């Protein structure tokens, strides 16, 4: 089945994006990349520390880097980080993350939309991490975002699609791709997001914190693919008020109610 996801001028065949945070050993990352089939991988930027090697050496070359602006509390700080990332030569994609709430790490919609506007003017492919709020999503779209990335649950919680209703509204109302980011804890939840019509899922913690990240990456690969195929196939309607038999209700071995079929 040919199913290409066009994002920022690139044709992606995988709709699973993965992260690089929280692995017990960064050396697992190449195998996770292979098992997940992902083509896009997020990284963060931080001040260098003595003895720290950084993450880039662990990322296979075929992966497209998606730097995030985590640590930014304002649109201006996000712009500064985005420029640094681009100057490092890793392309013009940027996951815009503007957060000043340290307990729940919820994104600041106003500053995020402002950052989108500033960065699109500088020719970035802007991918904003947002609360699943229709007005914020529209502001981001208006500002030229390439997709929107609403959260399913707070970052790193593995709590699943707690915001399912709101994400459903974004999928229905927005023409931009909706990439569910944050909170997805199980492959079944990624599958559900894809069945709903999400364009892609970004999964980090659920893979990195699994007992066997490489196997979990494979599980997410299959779940995202299954959910996507189900969406494209078109889910059958739900019914209530009694069963609807799938098998014929005539021609039973022991005829019911005096029914006899003539040969």
Partner 1 sequence: MDISINGSTASLEKECTLEALLLSRKLNPAVLLVERNGEIVPAGTFAEVLLCEGDSLEILHFVGGG
- Binding partner 1 by CB under 8 A: which of 12, 16, 33, 45? 45
Report the catalytic residues.
95
- Does residue 189 touch partner 1 according to CB under 8 A? no
Closest approach of Cβ 160 to partner 1, in Å?
A: 16
Contact 220, 180 (CB under 8 A): no
Residues 6+ apart with CB under 8 A from 114: 75, 143
Q: For residue 18, what are its two tokens?
A: 């993965």
Binding to partner 1, residues 192-211 (CB under 8 A):
202, 204-205
Contact 3, 199 (CB under 8 A): no
Q: Kindly tell me which of 5 and 17 has the beta carbon lying closer to partner 1.
A: 17
Closest approach of Cβ 96 to partner 1, in Å?
A: 13
Contact 73, 50 (CB under 8 A): no
Q: Kindly tell me which of 157 and 163 has the beta carbon lying closer to partner 1.
A: 157
- Does residue 4 touch partner 1 according to CB under 8 A? no
| 3-state DSSP assignment of residue 34 | helix
Q: Is 257 exposed, middle or buried (0-12, 13-18, 19+ CB in 10 A)?
A: exposed
- Does residue 260 touch partner 1 according to CB under 8 A? no
- Does residue 127 touch partner 1 according to CB under 8 A? no
Binding to partner 1, residues 54-73 (CB under 8 A):
54-57, 65, 67-68, 70
Closest approach of Cβ 205 to partner 1, in Å?
A: 7
- Does residue 112 touch partner 1 according to CB under 8 A? no
Contact 220, 190 (CB under 8 A): yes
Please give the size of the binding site for partner 1, defined by CB under 8 A. 37
Q: For residue 119, what are its two tokens?
A: 């960065």
Residue 201: closest CA among 211, 218, 187: 187
Which residues of this protein are in contact with partner 1, per CB under 8 A? 19-23, 26, 42-48, 50, 52, 54-57, 65, 67-68, 70, 80, 83-85, 87-90, 155-156, 182, 202, 204-205
């Amino acid at each position: 089945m040919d199913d290409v996801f066009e994002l920022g001028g690139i044709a992606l065949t995988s709709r699973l994006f993965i992260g690089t945070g929280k692995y017990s050993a960064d050396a697992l990352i190449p195998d996770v990349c292979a098992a997940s089939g992902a083509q896009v991988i997020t990284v963060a930027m931080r001040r260098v520390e003595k003895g720290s090697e950084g993450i880039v050496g662990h990322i296979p070359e075929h992966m497209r880097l998606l730097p995030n602006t985590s640590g930014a509390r304002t649109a201006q700080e996000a712009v500064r980080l985005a420029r640094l990332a681009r100057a490092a030569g890793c392309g013009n994609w940027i996951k815009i993350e503007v957060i000043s709430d340290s307990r729940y790490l919820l994104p600041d919609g106003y500053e995020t939309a402002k950052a989108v506007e500033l960065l699109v003017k500088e020719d970035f492919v802007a991918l904003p991490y947002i609360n699943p709020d229709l007005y914020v999503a529209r502001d981001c779209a208006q500002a030229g975002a390439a997709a929107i990335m609403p959260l399913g649950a707070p970052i790193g919680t593995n709590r699943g699609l707690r915001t399912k209703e709101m994400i459903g509204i974004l999928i229905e109302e927005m023409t931009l791709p909706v990439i569910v980011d944050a909170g997805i804890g199980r492959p079944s939840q990624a599958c559900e997001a894809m069945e709903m019509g999400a364009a892609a899922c970004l999964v980090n913690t659920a893979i990195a914190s699994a007992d066997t990240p490489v196997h979990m990456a494979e599980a997410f690969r299959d779940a995202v693919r299954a959910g996507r195929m189900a969406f494209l196939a078109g889910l059958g309607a739900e019914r209530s008020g009694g069963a609807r038999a799938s098998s014929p209700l005539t021609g039973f071995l022991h005829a019911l109610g005096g029914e006899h079929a003539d040969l």
